[in-house]
Amino acid sequence: MRGWERGILTQFDYALFLGALILALLGALGIYNASPDSGDYSFFLRHLLWISVGVGVCLFVMSLDYHFLADHAFLFYASSTVLLIGILFFGTEINGSRSWLTFGGLSFQPSELAKLTVILLLAQYLGQLNENYLEGRHFLILASITLFPMILITIQGDLGTALMFLPILMGMVVVAGVKKQLLAGVLVVSLCVAPVSWFFLQDYQKQRILVTFDPGLDPQGIGYQSRQSQIAIGSGGLFGKGLGQGLQSQLGFVPEIHTDFIFAILAEEIGFVGSILILMLYLFILMRLIHIAETARDRVGILISTGVASLIFFHVAINVGMTLGIVPPIGIPLPLLSYGGSATVTVFAALGLALNVYQRRFVYF
């Protein structure tokens, strides 16, 4: 084995990997405690299976040179786009969203895979630019790359997932380099166009936004999830009611508690102190991702790490905001903690990309 290969094998970010694994196991614990009285542990067992698959995918992605992945980014992007188009004809509708492909007893959400392919293609495109600052024509290309899967996912009825592509784009653009005047112009245009989108929203989507600003508007309907989630978090107090002792989760008052509102379970059981520790663990992972970006060998590595950090940060921010009732419930899972095979494997794969960049930071190309 050559010296640089031995170096790659020894340069492993154990802190990032273990931090992610601890979060995933905490999520499994929350899912386990969600319904012990029923004796149905299928969610828990399946989540453990997806964690195992996710770890395997993470290590596999890490073993491939990220330059190889970036060089073939358009192929991956095109493949995920074909899957998104296929969903429109052969997809399965779950929870009002036609965004799933079903094979036997397994369901797969291509929109999660699309997040990774967009990160790779944006990094590949931005990485080959020689300019210090992006120009208008670059924005048009970047916007096209990002908006195409967003439109397909929105047509599927999953607006929340579609919106998560925008933070990825903005995070990578800012790091790639953009003049303040151009960035301000883009933001102003976006703010001017945003109100128009109101007329394209479904009635239930409009109601979710209105209920966020006026919780008493429909407390037993659209606002029920957020209201019960806030009750669960508040009832946990400082140190929580103990593992498996949360009344809101045990009695089933919080809908979608395994997925979108997993944070409410844990907050009720481990309290404010435990919740802060979970958020600190996310902060630690984000700091590791920033460190990986800072120490990356090249521009592509920097941008990949930035895309992964943006993906995780905004998912955490939106999901926690949903549970606190300050963000409309738009179906965004909490990375690694929420139940869901596609989301869990995708986050582990994204972390595999970051670990890939970290391992090769001393390798010359």
Is 307 a domain residue? yes
Residue 47 lies in a domain: yes
Q: What is the pLDDT of residue 73?
A: 96
Q: Has residue 211 got a pLDDT over 80?
A: no
**pLDDT of 252:** 62
Name every residue whose Cβ is closer than 8 Å to that of residue 191 and which is 6 or more positions away in sequence: none
Q: What is the pLDDT of residue 126?
A: 94
Task: Please report the pLDDT score of residue 220 as a whole number.
Answer: 56
> pLDDT value at position 22?
95
Total structural domains in the chain?
A: 1
pLDDT of residue 3: 47
Q: Is 2 a member of any domain?
A: no
* 101 assigned to some structural domain: yes
d(CA 56, CA 58): 5
Q: pLDDT by residue (tens digit) across 135-157?
A: 888 889 999 999 999 999 988 88
Q: What percent of the chain has pLDDT over 70?
A: 84
- How confident is the model at residue 345, as a pLDDT? 95
Q: What pLDDT, on a 0 to 100 scale, did the predictor assign at position 248?
A: 67
The model's confidence at residue 216, banded by pLDDT at 50, 70 and 90, is low
15 belongs to a structural domain: no
What's the per-residue H, E or C state across the chain?
CCHHHHHHHHCCCHHHHHHHHHHHHHHHHHHHHHCHHHCCCHHHHHHHHHHHHHHHHHHHHHHCCHHHHHHCHHHHHHHHHHHHHHHHHHCEEECCEEEEEEECCEEECHHHHHHHHHHHHHHHHHHCCCCCCECHHHHHHHHHHHHHHHHHHHHCCCHHHHHCHHHHHHHHHHHHCECHHHHHHHHHHHHHHHHHHHHHCCHHHHHHHHHHHCHHHCCCCCCHHHHHHHHHHHHCCCCCCCCCCCHHHHCCCCCCCCCCCHHHHHHHHHHHHHHHHHHHHHHHHHHHHHHHHHHCCCHHHHHHHHHHHHHHHHHHHHHHHHHHCCCCCCCCCCCCCCCCHHHHHHHHHHHHHHHHHHHCCCCCC
The pTM of the full predicted model, rounded to 2 decimals, is 0.91
Query: Residue 177: what pLDDT?
Result: 86
Across 218-222, 259-263, 300-304, 322-326, least confident range: 218-222
Range of the domain at 210: 21-359
Joined together, the tokens standing for residue 33 give: 């405690």
> What confidence category does residue 250 fall into, taking pLDDT thresholds of 50, 70 and 90?
low
Rounded mean pLDDT of 285-303? 95
| pLDDT at position 253 | 63
Q: Residue 1: inside a domain, yes or no?
A: no
pLDDT band for position 199 (50/70/90)?
low
Q: Is residue 198 part of a domain?
A: yes
| pLDDT for 39 | 62
Mean pLDDT score of the chain: 85
Q: Give 64-121 pLDDT, tens digit per residue.
A: 999 999 999 999 999 999 999 998 888 777 766 778 888 776 778 999 999 999 999 9
Residue 317 resides in a domain: yes
**Residue 18 pLDDT exceeds 80:** yes
pLDDT over 60 at 37, yes or no = no
**Which backbone phi and psi does 94 adopt, to 5 degrees?**
-135, 125
Q: What is the mean pLDDT of residues 225-232?
A: 77
pLDDT (0 to 100) of residue 32:
84
pLDDT band at 4 (very low <50, low <70, confident <90, very high): very low
